[in-house]
Chains A and B, each alone.
Chain A
Amino acid sequence: MNTQKKIEILADAAKYDASCASSGGRKKDAPNHQGVGSTNGTGICHSYTPDGRCISLLKLLLTNVCLYDCHYCINRRSSNVRRARFTPQEVVQLTLDFYKRNYVEGLFLSSGIVRSADYTMEQVVEVARSLREDHDFRGYIHLKTIPEASDELIALAGKYADRISINIELPQQQSLDHLAPEKNLSRTREAMGSIGEKIAEFKPRASKPNTPRRQRKKGLFATGQSTQMIVGADASNDATFLERAGDLYGNFKLNRVYYSAFSPIPDASQRLPLVSPPLVREHRLYQADWLMRFYGYSVNEITTKEQPNLDLDIDPKLSWALRNREFFPIDINRASREMLYRIPGLGVRNAQRITQMRRHFPVSTSDLIKIRVSLKKALPFMITADHQPARLEIDSEKLRAIYAPPPAQLEMNFTQTPSIQVPKSAVIGGEF
């Protein structure tokens, strides 16, 4: 089989993995006019596919042959997809060829489980070793690891990679038992725990001036780990997803949890019939995740016992504000930054701009227009130098109706696959 055919099969095999960050790497450059590659900590998207996703890394499976039978996965052993296998040298060559043309930031390598966890990890690690040691490659390397692999192999993976990750895939064991019988949640958590400890151990600390020398002696380790959860394959509600994310951020200091809407694959399993991917739900989970990481919200604030799922029509921050009207209005000329973060339509950047400006003059509504705050969203919740909302004049239900899209007439169309309306905000990551 030629390289072209292998790329087709093994990129197809890799595309459903959203946990493929290329940021947060340790800064490094090609040394002394040889070798190739640099990592500057932020990561670059070198292209975008028509699904709106960024191509940053060359994302491949070493092989899509797999012993496991995870029902959501295109590569499960029961699937009838074509199988292929790269040699480590083929992947090394492709990475270098693509990198030198500035197609990619580096390599994201994963693999089906063949023979055993250790055997598979050895092959994956060999690719990274060869890139680093034989070719002086200083680009980004992200390796997928297997929780059951030996500590020595995980240490080696961490030595060569900027980031390593294990996909938790589903938020609870019960779901794994049904859909991914070979996977085990507590083993995954345990592995994440020991990787987290290694990352912390090797992390340079400003308070310890002698760290660099010690590091050189001990070698280096990846600077972050991430994971992915598939949304819409099992019956877990959003609260379960967010609690699991909170568990991973809090206990193992993960850099990122990715949410991946379960999406049709070429060969469905009997246990998991295909549906259209729940893209809006995925988007709301990302927004909720963002609130947890940067805005100081806890899981219990974002979802409640009565409403364990996120509102699909409005974003989770607005949803919280409507449930907690007594918290508002917030005076933007007096409130702390943390309070400003609670105002719907006001992002972290604009909250910072407001605190800077108000040192010099009382901030009024026209200032907010100039820095492009979404006034429609924000005004009912804030006091500015020249605006006072009619307090509780409009109740939360009516306010919600203003923001939520009008109920759409459902059209039945049997000839085409259903198209999904993604809210406009879905294309703008980050602030909301």
Chain B
Amino acid sequence: MEICIYPKGLLEWRELARELLAREVPPDEVLWQSPEQNTLFAINPVTDPKAHSHFKVSKEFLSLANTVAVHRSGRQWFHLYRALWRITHGERHLLSLSSDKDVHHLKSMEKHIRRDIHKMHAFVRFRKVDDCPETGREQFVAWFEPDHKIVPLTAGFFKKRFTGMNWSILTPDECMHWNGQRVHFTPGADQSFVPSADEQDELWKSYYRHIFNPARVKIKAMQSEMPKKYWKNLPEASIIKELIATSGETVAHMHEREPSPEKKAPKNAYLDAIKNLPS
């Protein structure tokens, strides 16, 4: 039995996998363990780079591996090696078998991570910390708690979108910073570095309150797309409860009110003109 400690990332896993493949170690004989789990057995170091084999896999597998590599559980390494073994041992078409157990595990991890990335793009809220009139580059900072270690995978999006301002996104795992030239990464931080409010919060909350239609409350639909775990970092979420609680009354008032009488059209040249337009 080979014992592999969870690699730090895809590159490290690839090195391990190459060597295991070169030595024809089948997946059932590899035990992937987190560093904490690994107390009983001696580590079996896999360190001989010369033993590397070269294998070809599809772009689809590479992209899948690249995404699931950031899964927080560590379970992806086991499934990735199983899939890799099977792909290189006569099942090149493996990824097109949607009902296969390994494929199913990997694809569902991929789905969770893609959703996590999407939600980070959506729910990061920047707060302004400095106008920086001397440089003309306003400074913003945000706090976010992703489910998986996705921070580097979101850098491209934030860089392209918020090019003209300086920003930092802090998370418990890793922080990233943009200064107009490059994105750089620093170790995880805590929320105390981020101001608790922004000057635009109140306007944004007013907007949220008034774009809501109290006559069609669908709380489940809202929560399936914006689960409660995100609410603590969304300024608008602080008024959700109140909006739901008062919606029935608001609509009842609309129903109770007498309809208003029609007003005659004002004198207006344009209104006269459209009456005579050919239709």
What are the residues of chain B within 8 A of A125 when measuring CB–CB?
Answer: none
Contact call B270/A51, Cβ cutoff below 8 A: no
- Nearest chain B CB to A424's CB is how many angstroms away? 8
Residue B29 CB within 8 A of the other chain: no
Bound-complex Cα distance A415 to B124 (A) = 41
Contact call A8/B210, Cβ cutoff below 8 A: yes
Q: Given A98-B204, A101-B204, A370-B104, is A67 in contact with B271 using a C-beta cutoff of 8 Å?
A: yes
- Nearest chain B CB to A8's CB is how many angstroms away? 5
Contact call A270/B208, Cβ cutoff below 8 A: no
What are the residues of chain A within 8 A of B240 when measuring CB–CB?
Answer: 50
Contact call B210/A101, Cβ cutoff below 8 A: no
CB-CB contacts below 8 Å: B192-227 with A: 198, 200, 202-204, 206-222, 224-226
Bound-complex Cα distance A276 to B126 (A) = 38
- Nearest chain A CB to B190's CB is how many angstroms away? 21
Q: Given A268-B260, A359-B96, is A36 in contact with B162 using a C-beta cutoff of 8 Å?
A: yes
Contact with B along A191-212 (1 / 0, CB 8 A): 0000000000000000000000
Residue A409 CB within 8 A of the other chain: no
What are the residues of chain B within 8 A of A363 when measuring CB–CB?
Answer: 99
Contact call B163/A29, Cβ cutoff below 8 A: yes
Contact call A353/B98, Cβ cutoff below 8 A: yes
Residue B62 CB within 8 A of the other chain: no
Residue B42 CB within 8 A of the other chain: no
Contact of A100 among B126, B202, B217, B269 (CB under 8 A): B126
Residue B261 CB within 8 A of the other chain: yes
Residue A89 CB within 8 A of the other chain: no
Bound-complex Cα distance A36 to B97 (A) = 43
Bound-complex Cα distance A73 to B244 (A) = 24
**Number of CB contacts from chain A to chain B under 8 A:** 238
Q: Given A45-B122, A101-B200, is A78 in contact with B211 using a C-beta cutoff of 8 Å?
A: no
Contact with B along A270-289 (1 / 0, CB 8 A): 11011011010000000000
Contact with A along B150-190 (1 / 0, CB 8 A): 00000001001111110000000000000011000000000
What are the residues of chain A within 8 A of B252 when measuring CB–CB?
Answer: 416-417
What are the residues of chain A within 8 A of B142 when measuring CB–CB?
Answer: 102
Contact call A44/B217, Cβ cutoff below 8 A: no
What are the residues of chain A within 8 A of B257 when measuring CB–CB?
Answer: 266-268
CB-CB contacts below 8 Å: A20-53 with B: 29-38, 40, 44-53
Residue B132 CB within 8 A of the other chain: no
Residue B127 CB within 8 A of the other chain: yes
Q: Is the interface of A mostly helix, strand, loop or mixed?
A: loop
Bound-complex Cα distance A360 to B103 (A) = 15
Which range contains the number of A residues in contact with the other chain?
A: 35 or more
Residue B251 CB within 8 A of the other chain: yes
Contact call B260/A45, Cβ cutoff below 8 A: no
Residue B134 CB within 8 A of the other chain: no
Residue A401 CB within 8 A of the other chain: no
Contact call B248/A33, Cβ cutoff below 8 A: no
Contact call A366/B99, Cβ cutoff below 8 A: yes
Bound-complex Cα distance A380 to B210 (A) = 47
Residue B1 CB within 8 A of the other chain: no
Q: Given A50-B217, A370-B99, is A78 in contact with B140 using a C-beta cutoff of 8 Å?
A: no
Closest A residue to B216 using CB positions: A51
What are the residues of chain B within 8 A of A184 when measuring CB–CB?
Answer: 274, 277, 279
Residue B61 CB within 8 A of the other chain: no
Contact call A357/B98, Cβ cutoff below 8 A: yes
- Nearest chain B CB to A6's CB is how many angstroms away? 10
Contact of B268 among A34, A67, A263 (CB under 8 A): A67
Q: Given A186-B279, A264-B254, A370-B99, is A50 in contact with B210 using a C-beta cutoff of 8 Å?
A: no
* Residues of chain A whose beta carbon lies under 8 Å from any beta carbon of chain B: 3-4, 7-9, 11-12, 14-16, 29-38, 40, 44-55, 58-59, 67, 69, 77-80, 94, 97-98, 100-103, 113, 115-117, 136, 148, 182, 184, 186-187, 261, 263-271, 273-274, 276-277, 279, 353, 356-357, 359-360, 363, 366-368, 370-371, 416-417, 420, 422, 426-427
9 tightest A-B contacts by CB? Answer: A52-B221, A52-B218, A116-B270, A367-B99, A30-B163, A11-B210, A370-B99, A49-B212, A353-B98
17 contacts between A and B (CB under 8 A): A11-B206, A15-B213, A16-B213, A46-B122, A47-B234, A51-B221, A52-B220, A55-B208, A67-B268, A100-B128, A100-B138, A101-B198, A101-B204, A102-B126, A360-B96, A370-B99, A427-B218
**16 further contact pairs, Cβ within 8 A, besides A29-B161, A49-B208, A357-B96:** A4-B203, A12-B210, A37-B161, A46-B123, A47-B123, A50-B240, A51-B221, A55-B211, A77-B265, A97-B203, A100-B162, A263-B215, A267-B260, A274-B254, A279-B216, A363-B99
